[in-house]
Structure 1
Amino acid sequence: MTDIESGGKIRTTSEATDRGFAHGHHGMKLSSAAAIVALVVTAAVAVAALVVGAVALQKSVAQETATDGVMVHMTAGPEEQHRVLMALSMANRMANMGKDVIVFCDVDCPPLMAKSAEDFAVEAFEGNVTKDDLLGRLLAKGVPIHVCPGCLTKHGLSMEDVRDGVNEVDANEFFAFTDGRMLHFDY
């Protein structure tokens, strides 16, 4: 084809494509390339939608089967026996309800976890149940009980002084002890 004004040859799309194939170039029409790109983009979007849907479904199933957790944070010491028994009693109630429970003792509470700590009961408190009885129930249920080692040191104690089953705090366990929501009781 010849351009009338300049006298030069103008190639049509099919001539250019045919010439490209003859020289080993695999050119293609713009509409074919656009169609392939559109197909690839559509496939990528579909795969992304499937992945997002699968993750959402997995999260939904996990939330439906997850047990809610309860952290009981104990700061009260031996001079506040009612608060101590309330905390241990709440931890036992929640464990009995099937909740994941963790007990964390710091500030003035760690001496109560010592092997040599005095046991006590408060009159008219759940049938005169004692601190040691409530701790024993929690430990028998596998409820993790942790103490702050710095707080133990403040009170002249070390981890060797702590009763069996009570461990040094592990901050990672605060997030790992439950898969559901976490409720926090502070005593």
Structure 2
Amino acid sequence: MLALGVATLLPMSSALAGSTDPLFINLTTDDQHRVDMALSFGGNQLKRGHPLTVFLNDHAVLVAAKSNNGKFEGQQGAIQQLLANGAVILVCPMCMKHYGVSESDLVPGVLVGNPERTGGLLFQDNAKTLSW
């Protein structure tokens, strides 16, 4: 009976994050509440020692455009705070083109993704991913 209990717990323990496992958040929305949730959750994990990458793609690229500051002032402030605390914020170049966002219009410190940069962060050892 004890062996069955221990065997049942083993698979669960391997799914738990280590204390410094990286977190990669895939953010696809420009819904302000959902963006706030993703950035807040990521920021809380960053404070706990988890390196954080936020990948803005699809509609989320609009959040990082300075020209949209009137709509996303709070979210852009949160992005700047995350950057100051060591997070990496990436933007999908294909999505930028689709939605007419230029690199010069990005919030300072936000990086345009590419296969090497994005893949390197997504596929870090022990990285965990979440999507909003």
What value does the CA root-mean-square deviation take over the aligned residues? 2.4
Residues 67, 179 of structure 1: 8 Å contact kept: no
Quick check: 1:162 aligned with 2:115? no
Write out the 4+ residue segments of structure 1 that deviate beyond 3 Å after TM superposition.
173-180
How far off its partner does 1:132 sit? 2.4
Structure 1 counterpart of 2:86:
142
Structure 2 counterpart of 1:171:
115
Q: Distance in 2 between matches of 1:95 and 1:181?
A: 15
Structure 2 counterpart of 1:99:
50
Of 85, 90, 103, the residue aligned with 2:41 is 90
Structure 2 counterpart of 1:67:
20
Show CA shifts across 1:52-91 (max 9, x none). Answer: xxxxxxxxxxxxx9830100111001xx111010111111
Residues 68, 100 of structure 1: 8 Å contact kept: yes
How far off its partner does 1:154 sit? 1.0
Closer, same or farther in 2 for the Cα pair 1:115/1:143, shift >3 Å?
same
Partner SS for 1:145: strand
Matches within 5 A, 1:39-50: none
Residues 76, 107 of structure 2: 8 Å contact kept: no
Q: Distance in 2 between matches of 1:98 and 1:179?
A: 15
Q: Distance in 1 between matches of 2:40 and 2:19?
A: 23
TM-score by length of 2: 0.75
Q: Distance in 2 between matches of 1:66 and 1:175?
A: 22
TM-score by length of 1: 0.55
Aligned length: 114
Residues 66, 180 of structure 1: 8 Å contact kept: no
Of 61, 64, 76, the residue aligned with 1:132 is 76
Q: Distance in 2 between matches of 1:84 and 1:149?
A: 19
How far off its partner does 1:172 sit? 2.6
Q: Distance in 1 between matches of 2:29 and 2:88?
A: 18
